Amino acid sequence: METRNLLVELLVEELPPKSLRKLGDSFAHLLSQSLIMQQLALTTTVVTPYATPRRLAVHLTEVLSQAPNQQQSHKLMPVAIGLDSAGQATPALIKKMSSLGMEMFSVSELKRAMDGKTEALYLERAVTGTPLVNGLQTALEQTMSQLPIPKVMTYQLADGWSTVNFVRPVHSLIALYGTEVVAINLMGLTAGNITRGHRFEAKSNSIAIQEADSYAQQLQNEGAVVANFAERRQLINGQLIAAANKVNLNLIPDETLLDEVTALVEHPNVLMGQFAEAFLEIPQECLILTMKANQKYFPLFDQHGKLANRFLLVSNICPNDPHAIIDGNERVVRSRLADAKFFFDQDRKKTLISRLPGLNTVIYHHQLGTQGLRIHYLCALASKIGAMIGGDQLANEAAQATKLAKADLLTDMVGEFPELQGIMGRYYAQHEGLSDTVAYAIEDHYKPRYAGDVLPRNLIGVCVALADKLETLVNLFAIGQIPTGDKDPYALRRHALGVIRILIEKDLPIELNNLLELAFEIVQDETIAQQWQQATNNERSAAIPPRPVLTIEIIDQLRRFISDRLAGSLREQGYTAQEVDAVLALNPQHLNDIPKRLAAVRAFSSLPEAASLAAANKRVSNILKKVGHEVSDRVNSSQLCEEAEKALHQALLDLTDKVDLAFKEKDYVVTFQILAELKTIVDAFFDHVMVNVEDEVLRANRLALLKQLQQIMNRVADISKLAS
């Protein structure tokens, strides 16, 4: 059957840039999948999406003009109902066939087949394949209803009566099958072959697309539009790098900004602007955020990573003289940076500590009180964590940093750019002459902010970060704000992963349970709230909400939540589910120990004895589970009668000290290597010894021997989880 290439384009008003790439990919994917499902496109069809600020389009190869005919079998009814005793059609069958458009038929045309235990009548007939015009109409309607539109817009059609819901008003529709227009209608529009190019750079007002395959080339040549999102993105990136290299400066990659700028232009032209060097006195994070967030500029940096007073902008036009564009953008950025400088200068007129009373009126959560109250709880928790890690000095420094950690929330700069919270606190702390360790702790207590982010630089920051994350987790779980599905408005998954990463990557010898117990104790301590109330004179701000109640169920939920995040994180790092399950089955509380255990488990799995020992361990676990009560590990050597059990008992006595020493020194690989010596002896035990004998004393003694075996084998991980 004939195949040609197909092009579909929607010409629209400016689409939201942050969702353009997703919209373009979804439009192409949904449309192609619908045509494939209707057998109008092949599974080998090449799908090319196009997306610009003013259009969504897709090009598909190997599209059929009509779907293949199909042989369909339609179940009618049981033979006993459809045919009478003479084998003629009953009124019920005649009525059924009439409803299928077959008033005239012969019983011989029908097929008999078993339907379970009942013989039924079937009508088999050829069904004509769907024509492309019908299939494309269906595919487009389905696609439009399923697009991931962030916010729907309702607009009126030209008739003045009809309304349409879509992301933006659609102005024209193209549907080209080779060179032929497919006669479909959508959103009050009839398909044609006319589109528009760039508003200012196009050679003509409208462009007649000659055939599906000429779309991208015609748009570029006649319309000055690079229609393919990926190509346009690559073009912009190349221009940015070339422009930066020309002045011997560096461009820091920002994929999100690059995507957004690609979605803003159809005919990219990278230009360079600059601003006064005096603005470089402002913290560079402020300047970078101002340029990126407000203006979509790309900042440039010198060879030492310091911000330069130059930036790159991506224009949507290519005039012969670009100075007017550059000058206009420089005026705008000058105004933006002047605002940032004003905020920075004003903020430094007040100390961080002088801002603390203001936190008493800033609501943290309506069920948990204000940020001022929260600071008192955070100070208590950070101080206790500091004492656990480094003694009294670290406890005092952690409390000092925590006290000031949220003060920058009341600064003008953070009010304008919330993303700078913590960062501005560090700058203002350094301006006031506080130590760098405390200043960096103020900035770092939010870290890690996202997956792959760096951790706090010093132990003070570690204490404050742990306190901040643990308090958030405990309190929000206590008031029922538990993440469900993909909803996590308070980023509790990120907080849990932050705690996990800090404990592991900072190699902190603290038990997770101890940290959680400490957090549980402090967040419920009403004396802390009373102290805060006494410290403030404002009765309205000093109202104390009831402390959240931590039930056993909530505590268990939080423990499981953190454990699930830990397991997921380890699997993402490349460990197998079996390896992770084996280690976490022992519920290790020193998380910094887990990577060593996982490495040892992986090394053990490569030993020739591993499979046999894992299977034996699983067998031991199953035997002990079926006992129904706690099994003692005390073995009476005088009751050992079989040579195989005596050998196993002696081997356990011989190896215990070696295993204990290796385990104490955390040489887990050696621990497993020692245990590998048990393979032959364990195999012999199960070959020659019956555990569940009728003699209760003998059975209890052998179960105790298995209990000892299980304990020594599962010091590092539960290796029964490795059994296939």
Residues 194 and 206 sit within 8 Å (Cβ to Cβ): yes
Total of domains in the chain? 5
Burial string for 586-595 (b: 16+ CB within 10 Å, else e) reads eebebbbbbb
**What is the span of the domain harbouring residue 316?**
229-347
pLDDT tens readout for residues 430-444: 999 999 999 999 999
pLDDT on residue 125: 76
- By the 8 A CB rule, do 693 and 685 touch? no
CB-CB neighbours of 201 under 10 Å: 16
Residues 277 and 379 occupy one common structural domain: no
Predicted local confidence at residue 150, as pLDDT:
84
Q: Which of 322, 347, 372 is the last residue of a domain?
A: 347
pLDDT of res. 1: 67
CA dist 362 → 135, 205, 276, 355 (Å): 58, 55, 37, 11
Residue 689's pLDDT band (boundaries 50, 70, 90)? confident
Contacts of residue 181, defined as CB under 8 A and 6 or more positions apart, other chains included, come to: 175, 191, 192, 193
Average pLDDT over residues 119-128: 81
- Is 572 among the domain residues? no
Domain contains 627: yes
pLDDT at 101: 78
Q: What is the pLDDT of residue 723?
A: 86
Residue 435, classified by CB atoms within 10 Å of its CB into exposed (0-12), middle (13-18) or buried (19+), is middle
The residues that bridge with 8 in the sheet, in sequence order, are: 58, 175
Mean pLDDT of the chain: 92
Same domain, 413 and 447: yes
| CA separation for the pair 365, 374 (Å, rounded) | 10
Among 512, 604, 603, CA closest to 566: 512
Same domain, 380 and 236: no
Indicate if 392 and 479 belong to the same structural domain: yes
Indicate the pLDDT class of residue 311, thresholds 50, 70 and 90.
very high
Over residues 232-251, the mean pLDDT reads 97
Judge if 252 and 339 occupy the same domain.
yes
Is 647 a member of any domain?
A: yes
Indicate the pLDDT class of residue 131, thresholds 50, 70 and 90.
very high
Asked if residue 295 belongs to a domain, the reply is yes
pLDDT band at 543 (very low <50, low <70, confident <90, very high): low
Distance CA 230, CA 200 (A): 23
Distance from the Cα of residue 350 to its chain's centroid? 39
Position 542 pLDDT exceeds 60: no
701 part of a folded domain: yes
Yes or no: say if 138 and 146 are a contact pair by the CB < 8 Å rule. no
Residue 537: pLDDT band (50, 70, 90) is low
Residue 289 pLDDT: 93
Query: Which of residues 185, 202, 223 is at a domain's end?
Result: 223
* Boundary residue ending a domain (320, 347, 374): 347
By the 8 A CB rule, do 69 and 113 touch?
no
Structure token digits, residue 395: 């406890």
217 has a pLDDT exceeding 90: yes
CATH assignment of the domain containing 59: 3.30.70
48, 59 Cβ separation under 8 angstroms: yes
For residue 538, the model assigns a pLDDT of 54
Are residue 35 and residue 153 in the same domain, yes or no?
A: yes
Q: Does 161 reside within a domain?
A: yes
Q: Is residue 568 part of a domain?
A: no
Mean pLDDT of 41-54: 95
Confidence of residue 116 (pLDDT cuts 50, 70, 90): confident
pLDDT at 170: 94
Domain match, 414 and 273 both: no
User: Do 553 and 589 share a domain, yes or no?
Assistant: no
120 phi and psi angles, rounded to 5 deg:
-125, 165
Distance, in Å, from the CA atom of 7 to the CA atom of 48, rounded to the nearest integer, reads: 10
Q: Decide: 441 and 458 in contact? Cβ < 8 Å.
A: yes
Q: Are residues 218 and 235 in the same domain?
A: no
Same domain assignment for residues 545 and 440? yes
User: Vertex 47, ends 45 and 50: CA angle to 5°?
Assistant: 160
Instruction: Using the predicted structure, report yes or no on whether residue 118 has a pLDDT greater than 80.
Output: yes
Tell whether omega for the bond before 319 is within 30 degrees of 0, i.e. cis. no
> Same domain, yes or no, for 149 and 92?
no
For 566-609, how does the pLDDT look when each residue is reduced to its tens digit (9 = 90+)? 999 999 999 999 999 999 999 999 999 999 999 999 999 999 99
Tell whether 218 and 283 lie within a shared domain.
no
Q: How confident is the model at residue 545 (pLDDT cuts 50, 70, 90)?
A: confident
Residue 567 lies in a domain: no
The CB density around residue 141, as the number of other CB atoms within 10 Å, is 14
Give percent of the chain above pLDDT 90: 71
With a cut of 80, say whether residue 626 has pLDDT above it. Answer: yes
- Considering only residues 486 and 499, tell me which one the structure prediction assigns the higher pLDDT: 499
Res 596: pLDDT: 95
